Amino acid sequence: MALINLNLINNTTTTINSSNFHTGDTVALGLVSSATLIVDGVNADVTSFAGVSGLSNTTFNVINGATLTVEAQLAAVGAGSTFHYIIGAGSTLNLNSALIGIDVLQTTTVDFAGSTGSGHFVYTPPGIGLSLLSPTPTIINASAGDRVTVNGATSVSQSGNIVTFHGGLLGLGTLATYVIPAGATYTFNNTDDTLTFITPCFVRGTMIATPEGEVPVEKLKVGDLVISLVKEVAEITWVGKRTIDPKTLDKPRNDLPIRFCAGAISENVPHRDLLVSPDHCIFIGGVLIPAKLLINDTTVTQKFSQAPIDYFHIELEKHDVLWAEGAMAESYLDLGNKNAFLEPGVLQFVSPRIREAKACYPIAYVGPAVDKARDMIAERERAIGDKTAEAIAS
């Protein structure tokens, strides 16, 4: 382990990676009025700041599975300074607010724009009494799969699009309050204090397996039976619908459907093209994997269209896996926000009732399970290409 003295240069970008940084090293960071630090694929711990007593506008870009931990005293940095943390795919940002000045927290932004739904923000709040007085960083661009952990939290509550993490004595203290992206849905796990953004749904016309054969998702109703993995046959307890108009979306990639062409996952799976929302999990190799993490731009694609899209949510007695176009995909996971689906085209938070929701199988965003699924799809991509070539030749 070594202490690395890293002095940023004004209006430039500095990168630390495996070529100049080793696991266990810590950083004493010299700030300037404006600079960018990229943490690329390494675990870096910033333990002190120096160099600026006035304004500092600093951007931290955490990418390629890196972890950045900031536990340095920032009280000396001038009021009005801004800190912009951008979390990349599979990367983690840890902020210890007990050591960060209130003025700086007020102008700190945590940005999930580059995370592709696999970013993680871990926040350590000050003591319960101080939490009520201390601002929390602003969270922007979160999408399904991104996670926010508030250490010590035991529950969350919601009002509008403001989510409050509670903890402390009897779980009644306020640890952190965040404005989350409009339209986001999520689960909260009080075992690891983590909120995870999700939005799973099927596109109109998707054929769902039932004991009586396949039925279009929009034709299913409460009380109908479907074939499921956990229960074998499960009853539908709720059906939700929302309509997306791509022309009104600021970030279409977060909402437009992912298309799995026939045979993209395995032989005849799906048996015809399957369209699901980007965050809808597909069951492959014993885990649930968000569809958007499997895009290869050939057999698994996301195409931009201006036509409205009808999404349908099917909830069973418990979270389960069902068959959609012959592929295994998750059912809806109840997060206490069903009122958001009362009017087509409107997705908003209208109820503070949030409950812990448990997935029926592990959800994977990075790691060997995702790599294996991508390899499987790549193998099928080659097989489909070979068959196409043979058909053209004959």
CATH number for position 329: 2.170.16.10
The C-alpha R_g of the chain, in whole angstroms, comes to 23
Q: How confident is the model at residue 101 (pLDDT cuts 50, 70, 90)?
A: low
Q: Which of 2-6, 111-115, 245-249, 256-260 has the lowest mean pLDDT?
A: 245-249
Residues 80 and 107 in one domain: yes
Residues 164 and 239 in one domain: no
Query: Does residue 12 sit within a domain?
Result: yes
Residues 135 and 206 in one domain: no
Q: Whose CA is closest to 239, among 201, 198, 211?
A: 201
Query: Does residue 394 sit within a domain?
Result: no
Residues 97 and 210 in one domain: no
Query: Does residue 130 sit within a domain?
Result: yes
pLDDT of residue 348: 31
Q: Whose CA is closest to 141, among 189, 86, 66, 59?
A: 86
pLDDT of residue 97: 76
pLDDT of residue 147: 83
| Single pTM value for the model | 0.55
Q: Which of 75-79, 87-91, 103-107, 186-190 has the lowest mean pLDDT?
A: 75-79
pLDDT of residue 96: 84
Residues 60 and 113 in one domain: yes
Residues 91 and 159 in one domain: yes
Residues 112 and 206 in one domain: no
Question: What phi and psi values does residue 283 have, to the nearest 5 degrees?
Answer: -90, 110
Query: Does residue 302 sit within a domain?
Result: yes
Residues 192 and 218 in one domain: no
Q: How many domains does the chain have?
A: 2
Query: Does residue 141 sit within a domain?
Result: yes
Query: Does residue 63 sit within a domain?
Result: yes
Q: How far apart are CA 139 and CA 118, in angstroms?
A: 15
pLDDT of residue 219: 92
Q: Whose CA is closest to 182, among 248, 133, 234?
A: 248
Q: Which of 47-56, 167-176, 269-278, 384-393 has the lowest mean pLDDT?
A: 384-393
DSSP H helices, 132-174, are none
pLDDT of residue 258: 94
Query: Does residue 244 sit within a domain?
Result: yes
- Boundary-marking domain end, from 149, 179, 197: 197
Q: Whose CA is closest to 242, among 350, 144, 313, 344?
A: 344
Q: Give CA angle at 67 (199, 153), nearest 5°.
A: 55
**Is the pLDDT at 72 greater than 90, yes or no?**
no
Q: How far apart are CA 273 and CA 303, in angstroms?
A: 13
Residues 162 and 102 in one domain: yes
Q: Give the Cβ contact number of residue 220 at 10 Å.
A: 18
The more confidently predicted of residues 206 and 113 is 206
**Is the pLDDT at 62 greater than 70, yes or no?**
yes
- Boundary-marking domain end, from 164, 197, 230: 197
**Is the pLDDT at 394 greater than 60, yes or no?**
no
Query: Does residue 181 sit within a domain?
Result: yes
Question: What phi and psi values does residue 337 have, to the nearest 5 degrees?
Answer: -120, 30
Which two tokens mark 249? 């979306």
- Boundary-marking domain end, from 150, 177, 197: 197
Q: How confident is the model at residue 220 (pLDDT cuts 50, 70, 90)?
A: very high
Q: How far apart are CA 342 and CA 245, in angstroms?
A: 17
pLDDT of residue 135: 66
What integer is the mean pLDDT of 362-375? 92
**Is the pLDDT at 163 greater than 50, yes or no?**
yes
pLDDT of residue 351: 30
What integer is the mean pLDDT of 70-74? 71
Q: How far apart are CA 196 and CA 145, in angstroms?
A: 6
Residues 156 and 276 in one domain: no
Span 115-137, pLDDT tens digits = 766 789 998 887 644 444 456 78
What integer is the mean pLDDT of 14-36? 86
Q: How far apart are CA 296 and CA 90, in angstroms?
A: 18
Domain of residue 185 covers 3-197
Residues 192 and 270 in one domain: no
Cα torsion 183, 189, 193, 197 to 10°: value is: -20
Residues 91 and 236 in one domain: no
**What mean pLDDT is reported for the chain?**
80
